[in-house]
Amino acid sequence: MPPAVVKLNGIDSAVASVVVQSDHYLYQGSIIAEYAVNGQRSTVSLGNPKAPYRWAGGDVSDLVNSGDTWDWNPREDTWEQGIDLAAIYPR
């Protein structure tokens, strides 16, 4: 997925919602929001280069009902289909 930028300019107050339509792909990266409230600038981030945010794109019902699903294996540092999460994250 190529980098994207969304800007709200010239609005006194705003609520923004960003939807990424990405069917049947696996992603990792960062989602960064920069904002100002009463002149105070702040930044919030999901993910960074050392700990990227990871997600599977597509309709959740398709992903859940498609048999073996994809997930991130932190031991192998890779996406895997049909991963045994109980073996990686024992209770």
- DSSP string covering 21-82, please? --TT-EEEE-EEEEEEETTEEEEEEE--SSS-EEEE-S-HHHHHTSSSPEEEETTTTEEEET
Q: What is the value of pTM for the model shown?
A: 0.58
pLDDT at 12 (0 to 100) = 64
Both tokens of 90, joined, read: 């024992």
Both tokens of 31, joined, read: 């989602």
Q: Which residues of 33-51 are buried (b: 16+ CB within 10 A; e: fewer)?
A: eeeeeeeeeeeeeebeeee
Spatial distance between the Cα atoms of 10 and 41, rounded to a whole number of angstroms? 15
Q: Which domain range does residue 24 map to?
A: 1-91
Instruction: Give 4-52 pLDDT, tens digit per residue.
Output: 777 776 666 667 777 767 777 788 888 888 887 788 999 999 899 898 9
pLDDT at 26 (0 to 100) = 83
With a cut of 70, say whether residue 63 has pLDDT above it.
no
Q: How confident is the model at residue 84 (pLDDT cuts 50, 70, 90)?
A: confident
For the chain, the domain total comes to 1
3-state DSSP call for residue 19? Answer: coil
